[in-house]
Amino acid sequence: MDDHVTIEIAVPRNVLSEAEDLSQSRGESLSQFFCRGAQTLLRRHKERRMLEEYVESRTRMPDQEEIDEARRSLSESTDE
């Protein structure tokens, strides 16, 4: 059984053009390109949530050096 679903999305022309160029240069389909992008974004959001949970838990049992390091990492991460 195929676990893929076909969807329709609206994409700005310039984004589509760049995505087509890059996906072709990487030897992947446009679907693979967008799936890889979505997977990357989902992974980053999960990592950020985990870091936020860590900061919160460490705040309850403070080790100031670890908290400061985690906060720096959190502020350096980009939420796309």
DSSP 8-state code for residue 21: H
Q: Dump pLDDT digits (tens) for 44-76.
A: 999 999 999 988 887 777 677 877 888 888 888
pLDDT in tens, 6-27: 999 999 999 999 999 999 999 9
The C-alpha atoms of residue 9 and residue 59 are separated, in whole angstroms, by 41
Please work out, in degrees rounded to the nearest 5, the angle formed at the alpha carbon of residue 33 by the alpha carbons of 8 and 51.
100
